[in-house]
Amino acid sequence: MGNVLRGKNIIVGICGGIAAYKTPQLVRLLKKNGANVRVAVTDGGARFVSELALATVSGERVYRSIFPPVDTTGTDYTRHISLGEWADAFVIAPATANTLAKLSAGLCDDMLTALFIALRPGKPVLIFPAMDGQMFLSPSVQRNIAILTAQGCSIISPESGELASGLSGLGRMPEPESIVSSLEETLHSSPESSPLHGKSIVVTAGPTREKIDGVRFISNYSSGKMGFAIARAAAKRGALVTLVTGPVHLETPPGVTRLDVESAMEMHNASQSFFKGCTIFVGAAAVSDYRPAAPYEGKMKKDDQEIELTLIKNPDILAEFGMQKAPGQLAVGFALETQTGLDNARKKLNTKNLDLIAFNFFDRKTSGFEVDTNILTLIDKDGVTTELPQLPKDSAAERLLDAIEKLYVKAGY
């Protein structure tokens, strides 16, 4: 990778968590690799690590308030602007729930948050949340992470281990060496270097609705979050992404072409038109396997009789693509199972002629429908099985795309 840090201007932002005690070592490592480092610390951060230590290792003054204690020149009041222009990358480690909330809301009441807003567009921001695992997985923190991810920030999931609370689990900040490696990788990898750059990727997402009559339908709990996360991550890697989605309440990720559909037949027809031209087809939608044979026009009237609904099979979109795909095309699917179901996932991989399948199970607490996290087991066509931990759906999507990139390169395409 060479020394990508040499001569780079890096801002290190430090928030108030116990992991802040590791940041002088982080600054020292960055300097050792040839980077120029400036440090911004929040009031909370300064309670855990001394500004004197940070100033000593960085060789520079440490920034905390937007308002300097004494300013006779007036220039210090615009320091966030000049530093925002100066920086090649911004690393926030550790990031607390409070600062994530401020960053996602666009608040800037200290130097760290003001620098985040003043940073030049397109400069990488790496955020390392560190906190108790339950806090990290709470809906508020996950919502803020989703907002920041959608803005293009890279959020690096905390690691599992012993926590300051005495509990053990998800929440630890990665070691400084690992943070430096993540930064090096980010600075080294541009979208142009991804094998997916310029490739056409079709992603299906969300539920389908199968009409019973004019006002009722059969559907499922899919929110579209997983499929949208995949589309977002693929677009960030420079892919030309088409997202065919059932009815969901989600914003279109930047750079993604979106086609809204309602029923499985509509999803089938919209997807089919891309079968020939796409390089990778990812089926993340929860497509209804059946539809009412004869939907009623208008609203069915209630009477005292029981009714019988005849359901007929919908086409299997992914299986059709799997059977038709030509060399150079990859088919990737999901398998949602209510039990462990790995064998079922393997069966789907084979019968649908897929290159990769992501198994997830349905518990609506940690994985599968609706929640912000997922627990995926990836199985490729050679039987290689990779178990991923519980991750935010955006991180799970990144890991899935890493596996797709590997397969693509391995196949020699």
Asked if residue 316 binds ligand PMT (CB under 6 A), the reply is: yes
The active-site residue out of 98, 220, 344, 353 is: 220
Asked if residue 289 binds ligand PMT (CB under 6 A), the reply is: yes
Asked if residue 284 binds ligand PMT (CB under 6 A), the reply is: yes
Among 318, 349, 378, 397, binds ligand PMT (CB under 6 A): 318
Least distance in Å: CB of 142 to ligand PMT?
Answer: 12
Q: Is 33 considered catalytic here?
A: no
- Residues 213-232 within binding reach of ligand PMT (CB under 6 A): 222-227
Asked if residue 194 binds ligand PMT (CB under 6 A), the reply is: no
97 with 135: CB under 8 angstroms? yes
The DSSP letter of residue 390 is: S
| Cβ-closest position to ligand PMT | 283
Question: Both ends of the chain: CA-CA distance in Å?
Answer: 23
The DSSP letter of residue 251 is: P
Query: Taking contact as CB under 6 A, which single stretch among the options 27-35, 52-60, 128-136, 279-287 is the one that binds ligand PMT?
Result: 279-287
Least distance in Å: CB of 126 to ligand PMT?
Answer: 25
Among 286, 391, 401, 404, binds ligand PMT (CB under 6 A): 286
What share of residues in the chain are helix, strand, coil (percent, to 5)? 35, 25, 40
Least distance in Å: CB of 203 to ligand PMT?
Answer: 10
- Residues 320-349 within binding reach of ligand PMT (CB under 6 A): 333-336, 348
Least distance in Å: CB of 229 to ligand PMT?
Answer: 8
C-beta of 113 vs 223, nearer to ligand PMT: 223
The two structure tokens encoding residue 75:
């220039």
Among 14, 285, 378, 404, binds ligand PMT (CB under 6 A): 285
- Residues 347-386 within binding reach of ligand PMT (CB under 6 A): 348, 360, 368-370
CA angle 146, 151, 153 (to 5 degrees): 80
Residues designated catalytic: 220
Binding site for ligand PMT (CB under 6 A): 204, 206, 222-227, 264, 283-287, 289, 314, 316-318, 333-336, 348, 360, 368-370
